[in-house]
A and B are shown apart, each in its own frame.
Chain A
């Protein structure tokens, strides 16, 4: 009896240590699978907008994702989502459909974006106008610097949008 309880005690001590070790392993595994510092550091892109043509979609690459930059023509509807650079209004958004991440194609004649994968549509402000996408295109963190746009940095315009809850 006394021996058994001693073995039980040893068992519990071992179990405690093993649980502690297990937690350590889980923590290390979680950290190991996080994006590497080199991946995170490549997270800034600068785009010069001075040569942008209206109604011509520019696609830039930021964090491996396509970024849609569209200079609006005067007849396009204004939106709170527009990025204002000088006198011009731009649509700036991550060019991945908010349904499952395909890249929608811009149709300059119809002035809309069509995602061929599941038929979703967005307008020139990035708002979803036909399901399945559940939300507008995501606006990436940006900062306006003269005629340049810095992607990955949160400027005052972006922070304002974020507070208004329209960046996503």
Chain B
């Protein structure tokens, strides 16, 4: 047994037993952040906070939601929306956060691509981030099933049918995943479990991993400058804060994070109170009907780009294209063969690549929402081909990039 002095405060008492001062020093006060980073670097904090909002609002919804095919629709649309006081608030907060979290994820991802934050030494940051993106996608999809409306049901039907793997016709696998011939009670229970337990647990673990991956390579900066963090930290600790290229996470960078976060929250609650309906599809206010398909099925806006990649092709090639689109971003650190860590603007051809990719994904997103007819199909097909052409060309255009 170690020796303990009498503590003079609660803080001291805890510090002796949990080393809270050491924890704070290692995790916050001496966690070094480069000075030259802009507001886009605060998106990580915005995401962590939004996940917190989803967790809390989800817990409130969980107390009234019924995971039963007969009761689910009414438990959401009647009990929570009309009977439970402030039930509407939790639902709108949850729905808006689920939608907005993807907007921030995409900004976070494209920031990383623009500044080369996935480059040598930072591959694990990128990969763990992509794992988070995939898990968030699964979380969003499983949550979308729960109100058991028409769009929930048919999205469940279409997405689980993808597991028959096209012409392989593995209908047994699909029925095993659903626990029924069609989405039914077993299916709803499974997705309920995934949404409220397994996937949130996985997300929490992955967030821990994602933070951990930053620890050794440190966060990138606006110029892609390689910083000697130990030397710069020594300057900072010696009191030479003006010359040091780094600042501490707490309290220095945290103040900027908090500012960006508060601006974000104004936008967020503006949506929650005045424009919540954008996060809710009108078709999902019809109860699930296995005997009637809505005339036009489309996913939420954040999946539209990959949905559009599935659409223009016949079954098997469409499925393959869709599968590749889901995982290709994981390979970014290995397909970009330039050693430069620099903003895209200074990287010649890569700059064109970056903006074409961004515009292409936006075009795919718009086409994914429009019906698959005439000119829209053609634009969608062209955008899909451009998407793959960009990925194929990436190693070639970055191979001979001039050093900057």
Of the listed stretches A73-81, A96-104, A157-165, name the one at the interface; the rest are far from the partner chain. A96-104
Question: Which has the most chain B C-beta neighbours within 10 Å: A34, A103, A133?
Answer: A103
Q: Does A35 contact B (CB under 8 A)?
A: yes
Complex: A101 Cα to B297 Cα, angstroms: 11
CB contacts (< 8 Å) of A35 on chain B: these are 175-176, 178-181, 186
Q: Does B237 contact A (CB under 8 A)?
A: no
Q: Does B112 contact A (CB under 8 A)?
A: no
Complex: A34 Cα to B184 Cα, angstroms: 13
Chain B residues in the interface with A (C-beta under 8 A):
154, 157-158, 161-162, 166-167, 169, 175-182, 184, 186, 190, 290-293, 295-297, 311, 313-316, 318, 372-373
Complex: A119 Cα to B376 Cα, angstroms: 13
Q: Does A86 contact B (CB under 8 A)?
A: no
Of the listed stretches A7-15, A19-27, A57-65, name the one at the interface; the rest are far from the partner chain. A57-65
Q: Is the CB of A63 within 8 A of B297?
A: no
Q: Is the CB of B186 within 8 A of A66?
A: no
Q: Is the CB of A103 within 8 A of B184?
A: no
CB contacts (< 8 Å) of B166 on chain A: these are 134
How close is B178's CB to chain A, nearest CB, in angstroms?
8
Q: Is the CB of A118 within 8 A of B181?
A: no
Q: Is the CB of A134 within 8 A of B316?
A: yes
CB contacts (< 8 Å) of B181 on chain A: these are 35, 39, 43, 63-65
Option from B176, B291, B318, B373 in Cβ contact (under 8 Å) with A103: B291
Return the CB mask of A42-71 against B: 1 if under 8 Å, else 0: 010000000000000001010111100000
Complex: A36 Cα to B316 Cα, angstroms: 31
How close is B343's CB to chain A, nearest CB, in angstroms?
40
A-B pairs with beta carbons under 8 Å apart, 21 shown: A30-B176, A33-B177, A33-B179, A59-B291, A61-B290, A64-B181, A64-B182, A64-B290, A65-B290, A100-B157, A101-B157, A103-B291, A103-B293, A116-B296, A117-B293, A117-B296, A132-B313, A132-B314, A134-B314, A134-B315, A134-B316
Q: Contacts A64-B180, A100-B157 given; 19 further ones with Cβ under 8 A?
A: A33-B179, A35-B180, A35-B186, A39-B181, A61-B291, A63-B181, A63-B182, A65-B181, A65-B182, A65-B290, A101-B161, A102-B157, A103-B293, A117-B293, A117-B296, A117-B297, A132-B314, A132-B318, A134-B314
With A33-B176, A66-B290, A134-B167: A100-B182 Cβ-Cβ less than 8 Å: no
How close is B242's CB to chain A, nearest CB, in angstroms?
57
CB contacts (< 8 Å) of B182 on chain A: these are 63-65
CB contacts (< 8 Å) of A102 on chain B: these are 154, 157-158, 293, 297
With A39-B184, A134-B314: A100-B161 Cβ-Cβ less than 8 Å: yes
Q: Is the CB of A119 within 8 A of B158?
A: no
Q: Does A166 contact B (CB under 8 A)?
A: no
Q: Does A84 contact B (CB under 8 A)?
A: no
With A33-B176, A59-B291: A131-B314 Cβ-Cβ less than 8 Å: yes
Q: Is the CB of B167 within 8 A of A118?
A: no
Q: Is the CB of B179 within 8 A of A39?
A: yes
Q: Does A18 contact B (CB under 8 A)?
A: no
Option from B158, B291, B296, B316 in Cβ contact (under 8 Å) with A100: B158
Q: Is the CB of A66 within 8 A of B180?
A: no
Complex: A118 Cα to B377 Cα, angstroms: 10
Instruction: List the 3 closest pairs (A to B, CB-CB), nearest first.
Output: A64-B182, A63-B181, A103-B293
Question: Which has the most chain B C-beta neighbours within 10 Å: A61, A117, A119?
Answer: A117
CB contacts (< 8 Å) of B158 on chain A: these are 100-102, 117
Name which residue of chain A comes closest to B178, CB basis.
A35
Option from A30, A116, A119, A131 in Cβ contact (under 8 Å) with B293: A116
CB contacts (< 8 Å) of B313 on chain A: these are 132
How close is B359's CB to chain A, nearest CB, in angstroms?
25
With A39-B186, A65-B181, A118-B372: A103-B167 Cβ-Cβ less than 8 Å: no
Name which residue of chain B comes closest to A114, CB basis.
B295
Complex: A165 Cα to B305 Cα, angstroms: 38
Q: Is the CB of A132 within 8 A of B297?
A: no
CB contacts (< 8 Å) of B176 on chain A: these are 30, 33-35
CB contacts (< 8 Å) of B179 on chain A: these are 33-36, 39
Name which residue of chain B comes closest to A133, CB basis.
B315
Name which residue of chain B comes closest to A119, CB basis.
B372
Complex: A31 Cα to B77 Cα, angstroms: 35
Q: Is the CB of A116 within 8 A of B373?
A: no
**CB-contacts of A95-139 with B (<8 A):** 99-103, 105, 116-119, 131-134
How close is A166's CB to chain B, nearest CB, in angstroms?
15
CB contacts (< 8 Å) of B297 on chain A: these are 102, 117
Complex: A99 Cα to B291 Cα, angstroms: 17
Return the CB mask of A140-155 against B: 1 if under 8 Å, else 0: 0000000000000000
Q: Is the CB of A116 within 8 A of B315?
A: no
Complex: A23 Cα to B154 Cα, angstroms: 35
Name which residue of chain A comes closest to B292, CB basis.
A103
CB contacts (< 8 Å) of A131 on chain B: these are 314
Name which residue of chain A comes closest to B161, CB basis.
A101
With A35-B186, A119-B372: A132-B315 Cβ-Cβ less than 8 Å: yes
Question: Which has the most chain B C-beta neighbours within 10 Å: A34, A61, A101, A132?
Answer: A101
